[in-house]
Structure 1
Amino acid sequence: MPELNRAHLVIALSVISGLILNVDQSSIILILGKISEQFDSSLSDSQWILSIYLLPLASLVIAGGAICDRYPVTHVLAGGFVLFLIGSIYSSVSQELIHLLLARAICGIGAAAAFPASLALIRKCLPENLAQKAFGLWFAGALGGSAIGPLINGFLVDRSNWRMIFLISSVVSLLLLISLFFSNIPTPETSKDSQISINSSLATIVGLLGIVFGLIRAGSDGWLSPLAIFPIAGGLIIFLLKTAINRLSKTNSKVSTNEIKKVWPFIGLMFLGILPVVGVVVLTVLYLGSIRELSVFQTGLAIAPFGLSAALLSPLVPKLLLKYKFAFMLSAAVLFQFSGLIILISTKSNSNYMTIGLGLFCLGISKAILPSSTLNQALTYVPDSLSGYISGLHNGAIQVGQLLSIAFIGSLATANINKHLRKTFSNDWGNISDANYEALARGEDWLPSQLSNSEIETFRELAKVGFSSGLSRTVFTAMIILFTFVFFGLISKQKLNKSSI
């Protein structure tokens, strides 16, 4: 196969892999309401539909990256998509919520291998000049999937049911596996030195599970509830013990090198940069579907500025990095993220769609800059033999950030919306039970009995006002996370400057 055609094939397989995984992930957000209706699940259960996929993905993606360095990357990519295909088929036929959660967990395990493998394929199979452009295309495809996928899937779901999303993922995954089987891409060199720790991955899963469980329970039971405090504390203790054991045993010799140490600031920046964004986007989708009563396709259209802005800018980020350097690009990402959150803080029950779209557009620009910039910068400090590990580490930061963003901001939203609803209605509307407040917090059209037509309209409007006020309060909290991100960025910049002297 000619060298140029082989390069095009590698780029195509890598970009399509990222596209499939992100289309699936972003489309699930749009159908949470429909899934909740069918299974009569609460807002906390809806958070688990997202979190149960991200949990194994976030926990195992670093191990997946290390596996890419030890074994042929094409085999790892194929194995990941086999699991993703099985999980997608299982999701499409699930008749109970527990089966759907198990199916999504299988998809998450497959994605933990496929995500870093699709990125490692670029670094291991392409020369440096093409790899930089390919990374931009990968992020454009991945983020473009976040915009186009919900539109296409939303259109189909409105005309069938939510299972259509999983059927589409199954078909496209199967086509990718067939293409990969017949591609005959030469297997790059592997490194037996890459460390794969099963115990470390299991500890990560258990630790994250405790933290996420506690965060989700905090939204409904309160932040001082034993079901919130003890799981979070247990998860944090596991991570502290894991860190201490790794330092004492010295088993991760690769991670202790000076090159890897220089990578950690960029991983930290990626993690903090994603925290304020994803949870806010999920809440915006809930607002558009529940309060503004848009269809799945209309909701996908309303949030399209987020994915489109990210997809259009991503291919340009590598070139912009060469021209403006990392510090300038990071500042631009912070500025756009700050602008987007400021706009969304002002969201009311009747806010203009153009205003919401502008806020999402700014968040999309931020998300376009951060992943590509931090990964490109991190890879400049390590040899190609560790590119799979670093890609997994970077993707792990993204997935853990998304997981904790959904759990933390989702729980804050549950508590804030509940609080504002209770404040809005007070005792003027009779004795509204906790279950009914939870229904209103999910955006359901619950009404007290024996209301006149005028009172029904007033009650519905007040419910929308209470929901929107709680949402705005939650976005304000995301602003505080952004300030932490800026502070961490300044400290990281100072440390890198000192280490380079």
Structure 2
Amino acid sequence: MTGTASTRTTASPTPTDVPDPAGYPRRWAALLVLCSTLVAVTLDNSVLNTALPSLAKGLDASTADLQWITDAYTLVFAALLLLAGSLGARFGARRALLGGLVLFGGGSAVAAVSTTAGELIAWRAVMGLGAAFVMPATLAIIIRMFPAAERAKAFAVWSASAGVGVLIGPVTGGALLTHFSWSSAFWINVPLVLAALVGILRIVPTIPRQGTARLDLPAAVLSVIGLGILVDAIIEAPERGWTDTVTLVEPVVFVVVAAAFVVRELRRDEPMVQVRLFANRGFVLAAGTLAITFFALFGTLFVLSQYFQLVHGYSTLKAGLGAMPFAAAMAAMSGLSPIVTARLGIRGTLTTGLGAIALGLGVMGLTTTTDTPFVALAGEMMLVGAGMGMMMAPASMEITASVPVRFSAMAGALNSVVRELGGVLGIAVVGTLVSSHYRSEMGDQHLTGPTAVAGHDLPSAHVVAEHLSPDAAGRLTSAADHAFTTAMNNGALVAAAVAALGVLLVGFGLPRRAAPATVPTGKPAEPVDTQAVRTVR
């Protein structure tokens, strides 16, 4: 190191200084700023779940619209995460973080003034694009700010912040919607983003750009198109009809697009997605458990909020508090997960976690009625949350441990993608099952004239009931509430069956592997390159 460089590293650093090997002096304050960006990104989805009934009424949104409003964000986020990470490495992680937050915050502001469901869906997609830049950029900066001995603690704090967003989101949404309209679920992001931008500019350092492979834009486009077609086929089927031409053709188009994506990636020396990893049984099963976890999480929360608010008549705040047992159990068991994994091993922990999810959802699907007390649902949700919290960390460890070292970076990147795609499919599949069964049940009511719209979805039924006589309104809401509860139970049972299938696949297919030993903290940090930045994405 030259004398000039030495002087620079001992001087009081500015946010534009490149961190030295001993760590950026203001790294813990900067970490809090980075965590605040993650809270904003995760808070949005959990706040939105509480706002779904208000959105249905305010924008005259159907169940399919609500599914798209929720899924548009996650779909774009998952499909573009790898590409956004590569762009961030190419142009600078701090710059990508700032740009992503501007997109996310700007999209939130415009979404808040949307007048149609279509407008809101479009701006939710823009928000997802911004979020895709935020997550990998924060991780890349953390890697460069912290010395090797402190990175594990930094990553633990970063991961916990995501749990904070999920935990406080429903309560925050409930409190906001008690006093304001559904748009407050989006306006809340604006001050959070502005505060984060100020903190980043003042505290978070600039890190060097990383050399990257050529951008694979065609692969990114194919992934967005393919996933969009698949989700559209699932969500729109109840409205179009399961035998409609478009419904039948879209899965075929998805297969063609997916095949084109795979062929392209196999032919590239440096693909966006290393498709050959999916030939690894351990990788596939561990990734599958994460997909199942988020399938159940997103799908269950999507319908539970409507059940609490419309069937039980809870206020938005009480409905938001209704998700607390689930989130609290998930957070508590996440902290105990290392102890459980040390005793049961990765395979044992994953099967136990999936078994808890299957049991909780199964009991919910078999016992829930329109009059089920909250304490019973809370116990079932705690069981599901505990199972999820138990298995997320060991599944992530297995994903990276099951592949050769040269592929660990790509495996780590796909970790995040698989989780988000599981959530996308959870909302699409469970929401569609609930919608289809509800329509079938309400078809037996032979609704005609102005009341026919009540057969489309539960929010519409409650809106129609407001304009009927008390006796007619009572009969209609009773039938609609019963139909929705039965439909929700069927969705829960399907999610439980998927989790139970995961238990069998992991139990018989995953190699027995003990929890990995802790890496000695005294080991010198290796030079950070593009692959290292991608490892934890």
TM-score (norm 1): 0.87
Q: 2:148 and 2:343 mapped to 1: Cα distance?
A: 17
Q: Secondary structure at the match of 2:371?
A: coil
Aligned to 1:294: 314
User: How big is the shift at 1:149?
Assistant: 2.1
1:358 aligns with 2:341: no
2:354 is aligned, of 334, 353, 356, to 334
Provide the residue aligned with 2:159 in structure 1: 139
Task: Say which structure is richer in helix.
Answer: 1
Which of 209, 214, 225 is matched with 1:206 structurally?
Answer: 225
Q: Match for residue 525 of structure 2?
A: none
1:186–1:40 Cα change, 3 Å: closer
Deviation, 1:446, is: 3.2
1:13 aligns with 2:30: no
1:112 is the counterpart of 2:132 = yes
Q: Secondary structure at the match of 1:444?
A: helix
1:227 corresponds, among 246, 259, 271, to: 246
Report what 1:469 is aligned to. Answer: 486
**By how many angstroms is 1:263 displaced?**
4.4
Shift in alpha-carbon separation, 1:223–1:390, aligned structure 2, 3 A = same
Q: Which region of structure 1 is more displaced relative to structure 2, 457-466 or 245-254?
A: 245-254
Paired letter, 1:361: M
Q: Structure 2-normalised TM-score?
A: 0.82
Mapped contact 2:453–2:460 kept (Cα < 8 A): no
Matched with 1:84 is: 104
Residue 41 of structure 1 aligns with an amino acid whose one-letter code is A
Which residue is equivalent to 1:416? 437
Question: Counterparts in 2 of 1:95-494, with a 5 A limit?
Answer: 95-185=115-205, 187=207, 190-193=210-213, 196-252=215-271, 255=274, 263-318=283-338, 320-322=340-342, 324-345=344-365, 346-380=367-401, 389-423=410-444, 425=445, 434-440=452-458, 444-447=462-465, 456-490=473-507, 492-494=509-511
On the 8 A contact 2:354/2:500 being kept in 1, the answer is no
Where 2:329 maps in the other structure, the secondary structure is helix
User: Structure 1 residues 467 and 216 mapped into 2: Cα distance closer, same or farther (>3 Å)?
Assistant: same
SS class of match (2:464): coil
| Partner amino acid, structure 2, of 1:372 | A
What amino acid is aligned across from residue 500 of structure 2 in structure 1? F
For residues 495 and 278 of structure 2, what CA distance do their matches in structure 1 show? Answer: 32
Cα pair distance change 1:96/1:432, threshold 3 Å: closer
Change (3 A) 1:232 1:180: same
Q: Aligned to 1:252, what secondary structure does the other structure show? A: coil
Q: What code does the residue aligned with 1:280 have?
A: T
Aligned partners of 1:396 and 1:74: how far apart in 2? 22
Q: Partner of 1:24 in structure 2?
A: 44
Query: 1:277, CA displacement in angstroms?
Result: 2.6
Give secondary structure in 2 for the equivalent of 1:348.
coil
Instruction: After TM superposition, give the deviation of residue 294 of structure 1 in Å.
Output: 1.6
SS in 2 for 1:436: helix
Query: Does the CA-based 8 Å contact 2:465-2:473 persist in structure 1?
Result: yes
Q: Is the CA contact (8 Å cut-off) linking 2:82 and 2:272 kept in structure 1?
A: no
Q: In terms of Rg, which structure is larger?
A: 2
* 1:30 CA drift (Å): 1.2
| Matched position secondary structure for 2:492 | helix
Deviates more, 1:308-317 or 1:252-261: 252-261
Partner of 2:64: 44
Q: Distance in 2 between matches of 1:101 and 1:455?
A: 34
Q: Structure 1 residues 44, 399: CA separation in 2 closer, same or farther (over 3 Å shift)?
A: same
Name the CA shift for 1:337/1:119 in 2 (closer, same or farther; >3 Å): farther
Q: Separation in 2 of the partners of 1:310 and 1:74?
A: 31
**Unaligned regions of 5+ residues in structure 1, if any?**
none
- Contact 1:10–1:121 at 8 Å: present in 2 too? no
Q: Are the counterparts in 2 of residues 56 and 105 from structure 1 also a CA contact under 8 Å?
A: yes
Q: What displacement does 1:456 show?
A: 4.6
Task: Give the superposition deviation at 1:443.
Answer: 5.1
Q: Secondary structure at the match of 1:287?
A: helix
Distance in 1 of aligned mates of 2:204 and 2:477: 60
Judge conservation of contact 2:331–2:389 (CA < 8 Å) in 1. yes
